[in-house]
């Protein structure tokens, strides 16, 4: 059975070097994506899970009070697991 890992790379500013993130947040199961919330017009919505992980969306994590905008989403399919790398920058 194949496994999917979602990895959020959080960077300070959109122009910062993406190789130096503030932190990483990994979701190793689909249900762990519940910690990511879509934000629309400054308010968190009820939307969760992978469908909110689109370029341009603003998200917030349960463990963090900062607002992030998704800059890039890359999927890498492997034999035993799929990695989805989501690069986000802090909204000032």
**What is the torsional sign of CA 52, 35, 89, 2?**
negative
Task: Summarize pLDDT for 49-79 with one digit per residue, the tens.
Answer: 667 889 999 999 988 889 999 999 999 998 8
pLDDT classification of 24: cutoffs 50, 70, 90: very high
- pLDDT at 87 (0 to 100): 94
Q: What is the DSSP letter of 36?
A: E
pLDDT band, residue 30 (cuts 50/70/90): confident
pLDDT at 9: 94
List Cβ neighbours of 25 (8 Å cut-off, separation of 6 or more).
7, 8, 10, 35, 61, 63
> Considering the entire predicted model, what is its pTM?
0.85
Strands 43-44 and 36-40: antiparallel
């Amino acid at each position: 059975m194949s496994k999917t890992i979602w990895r959020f790379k959080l960077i300070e500013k959109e122009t910062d070097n993406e190789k130096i993130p503030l932190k990483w947040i990994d979701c190793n199961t689909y249900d762990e994506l519940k910690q990511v919330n879509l934000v629309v017009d400054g308010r968190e919505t009820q939307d969760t899970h992978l469908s909110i992980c689109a370029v341009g969306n603003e998200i917030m994590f349960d463990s963090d009070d900062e607002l992030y905008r998704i800059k890039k989403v890359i999927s890498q399919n492997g034999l035993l697991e799929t990695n989805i790398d989501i690069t986000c920058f802090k909204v000032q």
